[in-house]
Amino acid sequence: MKVTNGVILPGMELSDLVGKLIVIEGTDGVGRSTQIALLKEWLEQKGHAVLDTGLSRSGLVGKGIKRAKEGHTLGRITLTLFYGTDFSDRLEHEIVPALRAGFVVLTDRYIYSLIARAIVRGLDPEWVRKVYSFAIKPDAVFYLKIGVDDLIPRVVFTRGFDYWESGMDVYTTEDMYESFRRYQTSMLEQFDHLAEEYKFKVIDATPEPRKIFEKLRAGITKVLEGETHRPAAAHDVATIATPPSAVVPLAHDPPPAPPTAPESVARAAESTEDRMNAALSKVRDVSVGDTEA
Amino acid sequence: MKRYGEHRFPGRLFVVEGIDGSGKSTQLMLLHQWLKSEGYGVVFSEWNSSLVVKDTTKRGKKKKLLTPATFCLIHATDFADRMERNIIPLLKAGAIVLCDRYIYTAFARDIARGLDPAWVRELYSFAVKPTGAFYFRVPLEVSITRLHAARSGFKFYEAGLDLGMTEDPDESFRLFQGRIVEEYEKIVPEFGLNVIDATQPIEIQQEQMRELVLSKLERAKQLRVAP
């Protein structure tokens, strides 16, 4: 059973969504996609069917958003609603069918990034939250937290400053470094508010990727296990805030001991193929863009 | 961000609402002609959606990819674009702006598709409040007779065929428009729309419209000379 943050979209049945919705949030360049790739592999090895998805990947709008960003032509309310359309399309056509089919849905960002971006661009925080209130509450949100001083070297030495990630549409300065610093500082501030409001599980994103992965793995294991005993309430998340116990084994860096899957999870895994086929017939293929767009 | 802001721009915004076949576009055209002849700086808000939004909407409609939610949101996106790039700049420049359909169309249509009424109103709360909004009230049968005379066949989303109420486009259109009329009737008192009886002769309707518009323009002049 899933719930939303407010309204329910027409025709959206929430009672039979048996899969898990797991969100990885964090600002630009913090290493979300690296972690998701690792998590997907790990979860599949454990026998879970995984759908990984992210912002601006919808079949309906994804390409349009990319084009809009190239031209920098859309106003801030327009862009926010364009993202909202994309999100709704993915929610209805990918996320919900996959959850219904029992998948673990790993999503690279969720409404929280969209909310933070919109607020940093001066939109009414209450309005933005209400617009996105049709979103399904995730089973867990892991927030990869980093300070702007730690973030900057990562970005500089990998891909460099990007126009949008530097908020060049927000500030008047032409100095991309200055703009990046200001924009990301504002974004991180918003994330701190959201982390409290929506009960994120906060993970320190400064250690090496492997250590972050282990913390994520521990957190996700709890989410998957917890579910077999009781229906998880999305807001019931006080369980993990990187418990101190997680620190100790990391010092030894032990080989990842695959946690024993509870029986029902194992059973679910057996019929993974059937579920996948069922889901695939519902999930629209978004990777194959049609040439007409 | 202002919500349904009583804008302080020098321009004035008049909008017409009503179901297809209510005659609202004709009335707006006549109002436009009159305002021009009176020497006002008047602009009929011809909307050219930005290419990216337009392409998405077109593709979604053609391939029937749109759900009630994405139909609502893509139109809200397009409306926001219109607001930000067209209507607000015109109002800032002091124009009298005329719009054929406004947020109330979206309210009626989206709620008829099953979206939450309060949520849809919130979604559009960035829109500027019109100086005057007219609702052309017409019995469904009259509007359908007018439409049948003028054109053949309804489009998929226009007829509400996406709701799967019936496969027959004419029947679906009738049911869908019926729901829309119900929603309009709730909107009229809530947002203070001026109702025009659209079964009256065209000239009478236009007279009623001009009278109200004129009163709003005079008030605007008075406000400008006030200290």
Q: What is the mean pLDDT of each run of 10 residues along chain A (293 residues)?
A: 90 92 91 93 95 79 71 82 93 95 95 95 95 96 93 80 82 83 93 95 94 96 74 43 39 43 41 44 37 33
**Which domain does A94 fall in, by range?**
20-275
pTM of the model: 0.79
Q: Tell me, what's the pLDDT at A167?
A: 85
Residues of chain B with a CB closer than 8 angstroms to some CB in chain A: 1, 3, 50-53, 55-56, 59-60, 65-70, 73-74, 76-77, 80-81, 83-85, 113-116, 118-119, 122-123, 125-126
pLDDT one-digit tens code per residue, A207-253: 999 999 999 999 999 999 875 544 444 444 444 443 444 333 343 44
CA pseudo-torsion sign B205, B208, B212, B218: positive
Q: Could you tell me the residue ranges of all domains in chain B?
A: 12-213
pLDDT one-digit tens code per residue, A211-221: 999 999 999 99
Is residue A119 in some structural domain? Answer: yes
- Chain A and chain B share a number of CB contacts under 8 A equal to 110
Cα–chain center distance at B194:
13
**Which residues on A lie below 8 Å from B165 (Cβ)?**
none
User: Cα dist. A260→A21, A47, A50, A266, B110 in Å?
Assistant: 21, 11, 18, 9, 48
Based on the structure, what is the number of domains in chain A? 1
Determine the length of chain A: 293
- Subunit contact B125:A60, Cβ cutoff 8 A: no
Query: Which of B52, B56, B73 is opposite residue A88, by nearest beta carbon?
Result: B73
Q: Assign B219 a pLDDT band (cuts: 50, 70, 90).
A: low
CATH architecture entry for B12-213: 3-Layer(aba) Sandwich (3.40)
Rounded-to-integer distance, Cα A293 and Cα B52, Å: 10
CATH code where residue A55 lies: 3.40.50.300
Q: H or E element: which one contains B136?
A: strand B132-137
Q: Tell me, what's the pLDDT at A248?
A: 38
Is residue A64 in some structural domain? Answer: yes
Is residue A7 in some structural domain? Answer: no
The SS3 assignment for B97 reads strand
Q: CB under 8 Å to B145, separation ≥6 — which residues?
A: B21
A77–B contact, CB cutoff 8 A: yes
Rounded-to-integer distance, Cα A42 and Cα A35, Å: 10
Rounded-to-integer distance, Cα B132 and Cα B193, Å: 7
- Subunit contact A293:B81, Cβ cutoff 8 A: no
What order do you get walking across the sheet with A104-108 strand by strand? Answer: A50-54, A104-108, A20-26, A140-145, A201-204
**Which residues on A lie below 8 Å from B68 (Cβ)?**
9-11
Is residue A168 in some structural domain? Answer: yes
